[in-house]
Chains A and B, each alone.
Chain A
Amino acid sequence: MNTADESLALAAARGDRQAFASLLDRHYDRLFAFAMRLTGHRAEAEDLTQDICLALPHKLGGYRAEARFTTWLYRVAVNAAHDRRRRAATHARAAAGWADWELNRQAANAEDAAALDWLAQVMRALPDDLRDTVALTLGEGLSQKDAAQVLDLSEGTVAWRMSEVKKRLRALHQQESQA
């Protein structure tokens, strides 16, 4: 049976331990993948995922089923990522994250490696807010409307951010072809 995430989340908020366990188990992989997209660094993504996991029992108390659970969870994740960035000590590391983006590098062939280098280059070039937006829309496949909900922005702002991303990609492209 597939109990809706929302009712599981409400049950967990009321103290149902099993509901909490199955909810987290159901979403852990997605959460980690998202953290990976936000940070570009496995260790950093693992730390971020852990932060979120540890904060969830408390955060769930505020879950009111006003939004879809996944939307709410993305929001918690983005906020947790902000918190980590704010901590000065980790800032340098987070910024460096995309420098050694290491998607299965050992196994990857040269072509993949090139693609990854490009990805790291792109993500490094983006400021935090654009990077979050890209992780949600392109990485998680959210519509601009849903991403706007997660980020608590208007849809227009997200659309603007995406066009900004496009501009920067284009600039990068031109640099590449000139090089």
Chain B
Amino acid sequence: MSDDDLNRLAKALQATPPADPGKKAAHLRAALDNFDSHQERPADTRQTNTVLKGVSAMFDKLTTRTGLALTTGLVTAGAALLIVLPTGNLTQPPQITTQPEARVDDAAERDEMLIEPVVEPEIALDAAPTLAAPAPEAFVGGAAQSLAKSRAATREAPPRILPADPVLRPDTMDTEAFPQAEPNPLKITADEPVSTFSIDVDTASYGIVRQSLMTGALPPKDAVRIEEMVNYFPYDYPAPDADGAPFRPTVSTFETPWNADTQLVHIALQGRLPATTDRPPLNLVFLIDTSGSMNAPNKLPLLKQSLRLMLSELRPEDQVAMVTYAGSAGQVLAPTSASERDTILAALDRLDAGGSTAGQAGLQQAYATAAAMAEEDEVSRVLLATDGDFNVGLSDPDALTDFIADKRDSGTYLSVLGFGRGNLDDATMQALAQNGNGMAAYIDTLAEARKVLVDQLSGALFPIADDVKIQVEFNPATVSEYRLLGYETRALRREDFNNDRVDAGEIGTGHSVTAIYEVTPTGSPAELTDALRYGTASDTPAAFENELGFLRLRYKQPGAAESQLIETPIPAHPTDASDDARFAAAIAGFGRLLRGEKLAGGWTYADAIALAGETRGTDPFGYRAEALTLMRLAESLTVQRP
């Protein structure tokens, strides 16, 4: 009888009225507002910044980017580089740190919630009506749409170097900043036969793409950099001879997966494999951001774990120092031999996040420390670990990049490790790494930390070739149109190729670099432009009709001032493509889809999945399997939002 009572009570209790839609919307809005103000940078600060400081911020940005352009040749005539940057972190007022309070509460929360891990399947919680989870954007609604629109508008604007009016992106949902660069346009060989760019071994973009997809959202289009996605994966390209050039180029040509009438020219550079036994001693200065914004499980704690992992790979003759920056910069570990693990680990454990970021002072101290450690035949590198939040003590953003470029010439390298999302200033990270002859990687999981800091330790830390530039001259007799996939932020002017003063990317031991062109053979039905009525002065000697083009590479031995040249023709006949090359093509196609480009032949995620699955190979670390998972996630997210 009492069980009847219980059933009756259960039935009555379950008949709750639905929530009032108006109240619901109001509550959700209020919660999101609170969410914003709970983040490190309160929403109203952003607003103030946009309104009051927008113009000055823009000019600061402009000078920064111009400075960059001068050193890296970022702006070329044809590349549509828009310098309408989102309001960045560079000119922010000191952030309000709510973290200490949060920490106290966290501890309390944990104590309250001593709950064992649950392994049982989900019980019937669905008695109360739940909405099928909509795509996140659908809910964020207005803000997301207006952001998307403003991005779209930016994209449709004609290419220009300077913004016509001082309108910054009106509202940033979060404060992440990505460099905005258009996908490389189609080039007509007759007009512009030469394509020049710097290599790029960064992989940060892939990490951001993965993090977005794993949490159920398509990544921001500007965060997708095809070359960084392609270069994320290890490839088994032919290695150079022991006593030749430090790297070896391999060129293959094969049919484009998404267009039977065009071909992909796949250029692979394989760096010399590490001679692990006789590497020079390393001087590593960890420059660690301990600002309040680093106080998240996937930032400082992950960084500590990552550095612990890396420590086990170092040798007694290597030296480690640690400098933190937060409010004021300080050395927390004097140069210490890597064999003194306990000392180093204890210093790591003492790190605690709090305060705001004094990036510049920190960098200066880190470089000073590195300079003091340097001896003949040693490699010095500053490893900057940050969530990209350089917002205090940076009165002159120009000075920062200039400073780093200066130090690059003095032989100290800089690598940037990005942590966390939300206010990751991807653009600044890129700028720092590009100017510091380093690499930028984004670390979101311990597995990624292992990949970047342990498996690729040698490559990340020992440069074997500096200022590596690629120049391809296409043969108008065999190629009518071409397009470089990716490397938008790495374009160089044609004349910069032979100018040894122009900076470019570096290759480390064991690194491989991939660049892919999509080319349209002359006379192919895929040609998008018509032939000129009066033709061109066709003076291509017949002897070259078996060549698609000519590949030139320039590089410097580390520390050398003069560059060396490698030249090789690109054969016109399709070659056998390795699985590695075709996998790289699948990733490039995946990147283009994520950027929202429509591919010829209706090539979709499903095709990318098929191709990547087919060419996966042995995949000992599971990187390619993970890429397949990401492709499937992207596919399901896209189906939801046609």
A15 touches B31 (CB 8 A): no
Which residues of chain B from 448 to 468 have any CB-CB distance to chain A below 8 Å in the complex? none
Choose one: A15, A36, A50, A61; the contact of B16 (CB below 8 Å). A36
B102 touches A61 (CB 8 A): yes
Confirm or deny: A124 has a beta carbon within 8 angstroms of a beta carbon on chain B.
no
B98 to chain A, nearest CB (A): 9
B414 to chain A, nearest CB (A): 26
B28 touches A169 (CB 8 A): no
Given A1-B633, A28-B24, A28-B27, 4 more pairs with CB closer than 8 A = A68-B118, A142-B123, A152-B115, A165-B6
Interface size on B, residues (CB 8 A): 79
A139 to chain B, nearest CB (A): 4
Question: Known contacts A15-B296, A29-B131, A68-B118: does B30 contact A53 (CB below 8 Å)?
Answer: yes
Question: Known contacts A57-B38, A169-B2: does B16 contact A22 (CB below 8 Å)?
Answer: no
Interface string of A21-43 (1 = CB under 8 A from B): 11011111110111011000010
| Interchain CA distance A11-B296 in the complex, whole Å | 10
* Cβ–Cβ < 8 Å partners of B541 in chain A: none
B19 touches A29 (CB 8 A): yes
* Cβ–Cβ < 8 Å partners of A143 in chain B: 123
**Of B341-349, B420-428, B586-594, the one touching chain A:** B420-428
**Of B213-221, B508-516, B517-525, the one touching chain A:** B213-221
Confirm or deny: A62 has a beta carbon within 8 angstroms of a beta carbon on chain B.
yes
Q: Which residues of A contact B (CB under 8 A)?
A: 1-3, 7-8, 10-22, 24-30, 32-34, 36-37, 42, 46, 49-50, 53-54, 56-59, 61-62, 64, 66-68, 70-72, 75, 79, 103-104, 115-116, 118-119, 122, 134-135, 138-143, 145-146, 149, 152, 162, 165-167, 169-170, 172-173
Confirm or deny: B133 has a beta carbon within 8 angstroms of a beta carbon on chain A.
yes
30 residue pairs of the A-B complex, CB under 8 angstroms, read: A13-B297, A15-B421, A16-B174, A17-B39, A18-B144, A18-B215, A21-B28, A25-B28, A25-B131, A30-B125, A46-B19, A49-B27, A50-B30, A54-B31, A56-B35, A58-B38, A58-B102, A61-B38, A62-B109, A64-B110, A66-B117, A70-B125, A75-B113, A135-B13, A138-B13, A138-B14, A140-B128, A169-B6, A169-B9, A170-B1
Which residues of chain B from 1 to 26 have any CB-CB distance to chain A below 8 Å in the complex? 1-3, 5-6, 8-10, 12-20, 23-24
| Interchain CA distance A97-B564 in the complex, whole Å | 83
A140 to chain B, nearest CB (A): 6
| Interchain CA distance A170-B115 in the complex, whole Å | 33
* Cβ–Cβ < 8 Å partners of A58 in chain B: 34, 38, 102, 105
* Cβ–Cβ < 8 Å partners of B137 in chain A: 18
A7 touches B214 (CB 8 A): yes
B423 touches A1 (CB 8 A): no
Confirm or deny: B146 has a beta carbon within 8 angstroms of a beta carbon on chain A.
no
* Cβ–Cβ < 8 Å partners of B117 in chain A: 66-67
Confirm or deny: B576 has a beta carbon within 8 angstroms of a beta carbon on chain A.
no
Closest residue of A by beta carbon distance from B137: A18
A67 touches B118 (CB 8 A): yes
A21 touches B32 (CB 8 A): yes
| Interchain CA distance A70-B137 in the complex, whole Å | 23
| Interchain CA distance A10-B445 in the complex, whole Å | 13
| Interchain CA distance A49-B135 in the complex, whole Å | 23
| Interchain CA distance A37-B13 in the complex, whole Å | 6
Question: Known contacts A29-B131, A54-B34, A57-B35: does B174 contact A141 (CB below 8 Å)?
Answer: no
A3 to chain B, nearest CB (A): 4
| Interchain CA distance A19-B31 in the complex, whole Å | 13
A137 to chain B, nearest CB (A): 8
Confirm or deny: B158 has a beta carbon within 8 angstroms of a beta carbon on chain A.
no
Confirm or deny: B157 has a beta carbon within 8 angstroms of a beta carbon on chain A.
no
Confirm or deny: B156 has a beta carbon within 8 angstroms of a beta carbon on chain A.
no
B112 touches A152 (CB 8 A): yes
Closest residue of A by beta carbon distance from B174: A17
A18 touches B13 (CB 8 A): no
B125 touches A28 (CB 8 A): no
* Cβ–Cβ < 8 Å partners of B34 in chain A: 53-54, 56-58
* Cβ–Cβ < 8 Å partners of A169 in chain B: 2, 5-6, 9
B27 touches A149 (CB 8 A): no
A14 touches B421 (CB 8 A): yes
* Cβ–Cβ < 8 Å partners of B115 in chain A: 66-67, 71-72, 149, 152
Q: Pick the most buried of B20, B106, B109, B636: most chain A CB atoms within 10 A of its CB.
A: B109
A34 touches B39 (CB 8 A): no
B139 touches A149 (CB 8 A): no
A140 touches B127 (CB 8 A): yes
Confirm or deny: B124 has a beta carbon within 8 angstroms of a beta carbon on chain A.
yes
Choose one: B19, B105, B298; the contact of A14 (CB below 8 Å). B298
Closest residue of A by beta carbon distance from B107: A62
* Cβ–Cβ < 8 Å partners of B18 in chain A: 29
B216 touches A72 (CB 8 A): no
* Cβ–Cβ < 8 Å partners of B27 in chain A: 28, 46, 49-50, 53
Confirm or deny: B529 has a beta carbon within 8 angstroms of a beta carbon on chain A.
no
B631 to chain A, nearest CB (A): 13
* Cβ–Cβ < 8 Å partners of B15 in chain A: 103
Confirm or deny: B640 has a beta carbon within 8 angstroms of a beta carbon on chain A.
yes
Confirm or deny: B134 has a beta carbon within 8 angstroms of a beta carbon on chain A.
yes
B208 to chain A, nearest CB (A): 12
B28 touches A146 (CB 8 A): no
| Interchain CA distance A33-B125 in the complex, whole Å | 11
A122 touches B9 (CB 8 A): yes
Closest residue of A by beta carbon distance from B125: A70
B609 to chain A, nearest CB (A): 15
Which residues of chain B from 29 to 47 have any CB-CB distance to chain A below 8 Å in the complex? 30-32, 34-36, 38-40
Which residues of chain B from 94 to 132 have any CB-CB distance to chain A below 8 Å in the complex? 102, 105-106, 108-110, 112-118, 120, 122-125, 127-131
A138 touches B9 (CB 8 A): yes
* Cβ–Cβ < 8 Å partners of B108 in chain A: 62
Choose one: A22, A37, A56, A173; the contact of B133 (CB below 8 Å). A22
Q: Pick the most buried of B34, B122, B144, B214: most chain A CB atoms within 10 A of its CB.
A: B34
| Interchain CA distance A33-B214 in the complex, whole Å | 30
